[in-house]
Amino acid sequence: MDATLCILAGGEARRMGQPKAELVVRGQPILAHLLERFQWRGPTMLVTAPSRRSPAGAELFDREVVDPVDGEGPLRGVWTALENLATPLAIITTIDMPCLRPAHLHWLMQQLDPASLGLMLRRGSRIEPFPSIYRDSARAVVRQRYECSERSVRALAKVGGFRAVDAPLDWDNSVWTNLNTPEDFARFIAVESTAPNSPT
């Protein structure tokens, strides 16, 4: 496959009260749960930070890369992923979006036209920064934005070469589940415990 699946897992997780990589889903580290769910057939990359390196489940990825410093935000993680990329494309998501499925990631790949550097999804008037897809040639633009202190990932959708498309209407709200707090995680686990374990 021409795309590497990259999962960002270097955030500080202040509202969660613990590193998100320490969360356990169905008896296994959340990173293992995500890889099992995604069933990605191409390369995989874990992006961490110095204080978050080598969490449980990291050994299941083809590669772990580490941001130079802590606390620089997700755009730094995107840049770190792109500067270590060995495929033409990177699909980037985050450790705290556990309800994505393989079909969502493959649909995103299908939407990237040859003229675009990157693609995000839009829900109504809101740009969703993840999941998103980038060409390796987006590296220079992302680096420039970061070095100019333009740290918003979603703002890339307004930069030349990047675009946003409407998310399909049949993607229900659970797709956008985001684990920011212990309450978010408790709600997710309550639903997950009764759901069939299907990657589709």
Q: What is the pLDDT of residue 15?
A: 93
Q: What is the pLDDT of residue 76?
A: 97
**pLDDT, mean of residues 146-156:** 94
**pLDDT, mean of residues 127-143:** 97
End-to-end alpha carbon distance in the chain: 18
- Whether 87 and 40 have beta carbons less than 8 Å apart is answered as no
Model confidence, pTM: 0.94
Q: What is the pLDDT of residue 200?
A: 55
Residue 198 has pLDDT above 60, yes or no: no
Between strands 126-135 and 118-123, the pairing is: antiparallel
- Whether 3 and 89 have beta carbons less than 8 Å apart is answered as yes
> What is the set of domains in the chain, with CATH numbers?
3-192 (3.90.550.10)
What is the tens place of the pLDDT at every residue in 79-110?
999 999 999 999 999 999 999 999 999 999 99
- Rounded CA gap, 78 and 56, in Å? 21
Hey, what's the torsion of the CAs at 133, 55, 41, 82, to 10 degrees?
30
